[in-house]
Amino acid sequence: MDNRFATAFVIACVLSLISTIYMAASIGTDFWYEYRSPVQENSSDLNKSIWDEFVSDEADEKTYNDALFRYNGTVGLWRRCITISKNMHWYSPPERTESFDVVTKCVSFTLTEQFMEKFVDPGNHNSGIDLLRTCLCTLGSVSCYVAGIELLHQKLELPDNVSGEFGWSFCLACVSAPLQFMASALFIWAAHTNRKEYTLMKAYRVA
């Protein structure tokens, strides 16, 4: 066996394994996109209403995105999460302290939400269907994720003092893709090299 073939095969296997681990980690975590917002008071009826709507099965796109903007939300492919006070005082404010415990609460996207229609004006069902964003979300392609986020933010502008950035889950997916391409190229090259060596050896034996 040609040493080049063996070396390429081993490297391709390693790259493929690393790529698979990275992709599995990115798909299974909730940090594809992250929002950063100021700490919110957790003692108002408004906050309780936002939380109740966030976990509701009937929450529309604008409803749960408002909560993501307000409560340092993170979004994955399958779940959305917000960070709230561990002890939620809805009707009487707790004593003000310099810091308080927080906890992350997540809600899985329902099958209906995965394929729900996106509207030109998010939250306004009378504004017509935004076909571009609907198709992107329906396809669920990783390569379309960036476009989907950018189109959403064109419709729903981030509030003041709120920023957003792609998270480490998305970065893992971005690293995984080229690794998989390199592994595939090495596998193809190794297979071609091995076949060529076999053809030459067979011709030599015949001769």
- Domains of the chain by residue range: 1-29+177-201
DSSP annotation of 105 reads E
pLDDT of residue 62: 85
pLDDT of residue 145: 84
pLDDT of residue 139: 45
> Mean pLDDT of successive 10-residue segments in the chain (207 residues)?
76 92 91 86 63 78 87 90 69 49 83 77 81 64 80 88 92 88 88 64 54
Which residue from 136, 8, 5 is spatially nearest to 61, judged by alpha carbons? 136
Q: How far apart are CA 188 and CA 15, in angstroms?
A: 14
As given in the structure block, the two tokens for residue 117 are 């229609």
Give the H or E element holding residue 168: helix 168-206
Give the H or E element holding residue 64: helix 61-70
pLDDT of residue 92: 43
pLDDT of residue 112: 74
Phi and psi torsions of 184, nearest 5°: -65, -45
- Checking DSSP bridges between strand 102-108 and strand 163-166, what pairing results, if any? unpaired
Q: How far apart are CA 31 and CA 82, in angstroms?
A: 11
pLDDT of residue 155: 87
